[in-house]
Structure 1
């Protein structure tokens, strides 16, 4: 009884003490939310029970700020491309190389951009290396990987099921010509997943600035976690300069046999996607071997432009934002034409100078 009275008295004193204690000023909401967002992101802070939210990437994901101050360009062509690649409405990355002279132009060329389906070139090249090594055959048959409906971010890897079987050659054509995601994931599974492609890019091609992290089914399902116009996400990304180096090596047959090189280049020349991108403003006599990419708020086209006078130009253009897909396509087309005209003009000036 005595102990019970003492406990009740202490509790009463605690309540009285808490009501008399001076109030502690709460942090300003803006500062608190800002510091919290830096650590955990707005996605985490605003989660609601029962709703699957985008996971916080443990890889470097940074907000992008447009460079301030004057920029010096290596040539008038690069300055022209930079003007067309103005990032006021979203990041635009460009790289191009005249394979005859080695002359390169670059605008944000060392910054990672979402590869989207342009990564399919590296996936196919990885498979073709296996063909050259005798591990696979173009006549081997594999099933398409068909996505099974699932909620965004509900699993690390989106579920898929086996579909109709096709030859590897058919899968390659569908992957590059039609940008078929199910065919791509079939090849990706055969070679050993994204890690095998990254290994081929690093060790066989000797390139950095490329990272494939997810299969296409997962990439498409979870698309939209970050806005590529404002955020640099290193996942499933490559720099334009790296992509130009990849295109150059594939075109020159550095890493694959002559027959395997022919398989991938032939498919690129027959690509049916992106008619309003690289090809749109080029003269009809120019040949384009290319691969497009499209995801939320980003469009791209990478390839080899073959000019009527026998020049080969490797080009990679990644465009984000701009207010819509049609505007992104238009920006790609205008940049491609400027690169085409610029390199031809340089070649013409060189010939005139040499003739004097």
Structure 2
């Protein structure tokens, strides 16, 4: 028995390196997945309930910046951002200011082709008026002014806006257009001739009202009949436009841009503070996420609204603790803006109830010589 054991050992020791390498490797320890943060389960439950109540679908991305904890509810899907694209426009303008190419007190001349329908006060100024850049930024962010947006895009260049969006959202396929081109592309779903609609045409379409009245007005402007249209109604036209995925991105990626802005990675400190302060004065979202947040929470955000689409996206900063949480949400499908705003308010309430706003950033202790 001893001789046999010695023979086996000798055979192993004399084995070639190739034979030794063929021996099975020891099992590797199993790496356990990090547990989900405690606030995600109650948040998911409340969002599922809100989604069930809403006659459409909601998407939500939440990220606690101090703890780097994140949660997605359809946030990997592509969502139409509507006026959410005005944040990368603002960042592009602020970067031009940092480079010395523009100044907040500098002025830009309002051109006849700049006028677009929508909210804000820029359209009250006649063509030829020289408007301050800080005024245009405030109109664009606080009041979601489309004309102010297109003037600012013209001042920095659409290529730079798309470069900023591609960098901060880490999305190579994101395409942002002017607000006038949003309308041209949507109306071109009816007839390709709509791609050449001018500023006066776009304003006339808005004055015509909604539904069939607007469709008939478009036919008049294009000098065609509605029988020649490729889509039966505005629903069909906007569905075709949304399917092109311009001005759209995953909410997770948009949340990444908001996090970089809040962390001072998108702009220098002065520009960061300026833009976040302007975003904290938004007047278009009092019935959305903000309505569900606790008293005293500061919400620096931007809303977006279009046909069967509504969004609200920003950074919540808690009073006292200074904890920061990114919340980006959109609702799609309902023709009722009131229903979409209730769904976004429910998102704010769900975030509040989940406990994520009460989470504290871990304290890092630096041990040094006494």
Task: Report the TM-score when normalising by structure 2.
Answer: 0.65
Shift of 1:284: 2.2
- Equivalent in the alignment of 2:5: none
Shift of 1:149: 8.8
Shift of 1:200: 1.6
Judge conservation of contact 2:60–2:72 (CA < 8 Å) in 1.
yes
- Equivalent in the alignment of 1:172: 137
- Equivalent in the alignment of 1:130: 96
- Against the structure 1 CA distance between its residues 221 and 83, is the aligned structure 2 distance closer, same or farther, given a 3 Å change threshold? same
Judge conservation of contact 1:288–1:303 (CA < 8 Å) in 2.
yes
Higher relative contact order (CA 8 A, sep 6+): 2
Cα distance in 1 for partners of 2:172, 2:290 equals 26
- 1:190 maps onto 2:158 in alignment: no
Aligned with 2:301 (options 290, 297, 317): 290
Deviation digits for residues 120-163 of structure 1, max 9, x if unmatched?
0000101111111222222221134555899xxxxxxxxxx955
SS at match of 1:291: strand
SS at match of 1:279: helix
- 1:115 maps onto 2:97 in alignment: no
- Equivalent in the alignment of 2:41: 75
Shift of 1:262: 1.5
- Equivalent in the alignment of 2:216: none
SS at match of 1:166: strand
Judge conservation of contact 2:55–2:334 (CA < 8 Å) in 1.
yes
Query: Which runs of 5 or more structure 2 residues have no equivalent in the other structure?
Result: 1-38, 117-125, 187-233, 364-370
Shift of 1:288: 1.1
1:196-211 to 2 correspondences below 5 Å: 196-203=160-167, 205=168, 207-208=170-171, 211=174
Cα distance in 1 for partners of 2:63, 2:172 equals 17
Query: Which runs of 5 or more structure 1 residues have no equivalent in the other structure?
Result: 1-72, 151-160, 352-356
SS at match of 2:291: coil
- Equivalent in the alignment of 1:217: 180
Number of residue pairs the alignment of both structures matches = 265
Shift of 1:231: 6.2
- Equivalent in the alignment of 1:31: none
Judge conservation of contact 1:198–1:210 (CA < 8 Å) in 2.
no
More helix by percentage = 2
- Against the structure 1 CA distance between its residues 256 and 188, is the aligned structure 2 distance closer, same or farther, given a 3 Å change threshold? same
- 1:315 maps onto 2:312 in alignment: no
Shift of 1:274: 1.5
More strand by percentage = 1
Question: Cα RMSD (Å) of the superposition?
Answer: 2.9
- 1:325 maps onto 2:337 in alignment: yes
- Against the structure 1 CA distance between its residues 77 and 237, is the aligned structure 2 distance closer, same or farther, given a 3 Å change threshold? same
- 1:338 maps onto 2:350 in alignment: yes
- Against the structure 1 CA distance between its residues 95 and 254, is the aligned structure 2 distance closer, same or farther, given a 3 Å change threshold? same
Judge conservation of contact 2:61–2:72 (CA < 8 Å) in 1.
yes
Shift of 1:346: 6.8
Cα distance in 2 for partners of 1:240, 1:102 equals 16
Task: Report the TM-score when normalising by structure 1.
Answer: 0.67
Shift of 1:293: 0.4
1:1-356 to 2 correspondences below 5 Å: 75-86=41-52, 89-144=55-110, 162-193=127-158, 195-203=159-167, 205=168, 207-208=170-171, 211-223=174-186, 224=234, 225-227=237-239, 232-308=243-319, 309-344=321-356, 347=359
Cα distance in 2 for partners of 1:290, 1:107 equals 19
- Equivalent in the alignment of 2:204: none
- Against the structure 1 CA distance between its residues 326 and 166, is the aligned structure 2 distance closer, same or farther, given a 3 Å change threshold? same
Judge conservation of contact 2:175–2:246 (CA < 8 Å) in 1.
yes
